[in-house]
Amino acid sequence: MSLNKITFAVWSILLLAGCNQDPTLPTGSATAPVRNIIVNPTWLIEGNDLIYMTEGQSGEAEYTGFVETPGKAVLKLEEAPPFLVWDEANHKLRWSPNAGSGNDPDDVTALERVYNVKFVLSSDVQPQAVFEKEVKIIVRNVPQDTVLATDPMPTAFQEGALTNFKIQIANPDFPDGPFQIVTTNLPDDVVVSPGSTPREFVFSFQPKSSFVLSTDPFDSNCNCNVKDVTFNLFVVNPGGHQSTAKSIVWKVYDRRLAPFITAPANFTTDRNVSFMVFTDDQNGDSAPSLQVKTQPTLGTVTVTSLTTAPNRAALQISYTNIPQAAFGTTQVFELESCVEGVCSQKRIEVQVVAPPAGPPPPTNAPPVVVPLPAGPSPLNPNGANGPQ
């Protein structure tokens, strides 16, 4: 200790000693022992004034007290947090700060926390006199990784099937949260929403029918194609600290759907007609076939294949030269569409009636176009059917 510091301590001690005397107490009254801070330069506490520590790491430092002979130094540690242990016999200050020791309750974003502790030196022959040394302890915060508990988290999903599950977050630094979920490469079909507590999140996943493609690996166990979904999940605690990435792998199994055929509804005609039929692969990755399996035997049927959009097949069908023998009959078109071995059928019934009295339409008159239904289709969810 420098001479200037000792001189300052002398005046401080004299003032403190005067404040500790209470003239109103009668002689012989019971009072608490009065501490007198010693300024004798022969009293000394050797050791660091500043120690850096890190959560989860142990260490030790030596502190030694010196007093005037024949007294024996007695060195105590006061105002210490639980992770500090003073080994008086061996003059060792040992530490092992656990998770949370570096968390500043006044600033959750802080990366360290400061503790001020005090060593108090006394002599066995002069127990009421003390020499004090303050030590600053700085504990570096090590953000604790989170534990994700589910009920449990599923790893297998099927196209079209809705799966809901919950994730519970446990973090030693912030037992009550709240937390944020951050993901990378999470499919767009997955919806993450807050749960019933700040530590809970709800995942909802309903893979659309086109999620798994025919080019994805084939699994003989399910006799279907399977797509692996790999994404990373992070948790951000209230201090803004992000956990290490948790890599998650899901398997999505194909559910092969039959093609969706769009065609006119049953209709009635008294003249030549034309209409279009198309079919979509609801899984969205293959071009389906489309053919007329059954057609009218009376009159002329002309079928023309069209290319309108990927994963779609279309036919332009004309029914002309309808003879009088067909009047009053029901003529049938039966259609079939297949993709990846899965097929669907469509039946169209045409009621043929006699034309009204009067001159017949010109022989070169174009066929009457039969409209498609206005309902939705896989490629046109808003109902705007027709060539794309």
CATH 2.60.40.10 at 260-369, yes or no: yes
Q: Give me the sign of the Cα torsion angle 67, 71, 77, 79.
A: negative
**ω into residue 356 within 30 of 0, thus cis?**
no
3-state secondary structure of 248: strand
147-253: CATH number: 2.60.40.10
Mean pLDDT value of segment 53-58? 94
pLDDT at 24 over 50: no
Looking at residue 311, what is its pLDDT?
87
When mean pLDDT is compared across 32-41, 194-203, 265-274, 359-368, the lowest value belongs to: 32-41
For 316-353, how does the pLDDT look when each residue is reduced to its tens digit (9 = 90+)?
999 999 999 999 999 999 999 999 889 999 999 999 99
Looking at residue 38, what is its pLDDT?
60
When mean pLDDT is compared across 11-25, 233-247, 329-343, the lowest value belongs to: 11-25
User: What is the C-alpha separation between 41 and 57, in angstroms, rounded?
Assistant: 36
Q: Are strands 200-205 and 156-158 parallel, antiparallel or unpaired?
A: unpaired
Looking at residue 91, what is its pLDDT?
94
Query: Are the C-beta atoms of residues 288 and 308 closer than 8 Å to each other?
Result: no
Nearest to 352 by CA among 388, 369, 328: 328
Per-residue pLDDT band at 207 (split at 50, 70, 90) = very high
User: What is the C-alpha separation between 64 and 50, in angstroms, rounded?
Assistant: 15
pTM over 0.85: no
pLDDT at 18 over 80: no
Looking at residue 150, what is its pLDDT?
65
- What residues does 14 pair with on adjacent strands? none
Mean pLDDT value of segment 118-123? 92
* Structure-block tokens of residue 65: 């007290």
User: What is the C-alpha separation between 232 and 237, in angstroms, rounded?
Assistant: 17
Residue type, 294: T
CATH class entry, domain 3-20+32-140 = mainly beta
- CATH 2.60.40.10, the chain: domain bounds: 3-20+32-140, 147-253, 260-369
pLDDT at 142 over 70: yes
Lay out the sheet containing 267-269: strands in order across.
267-269, 342-352, 330-339, 289-294
Mean pLDDT value of segment 293-308? 93
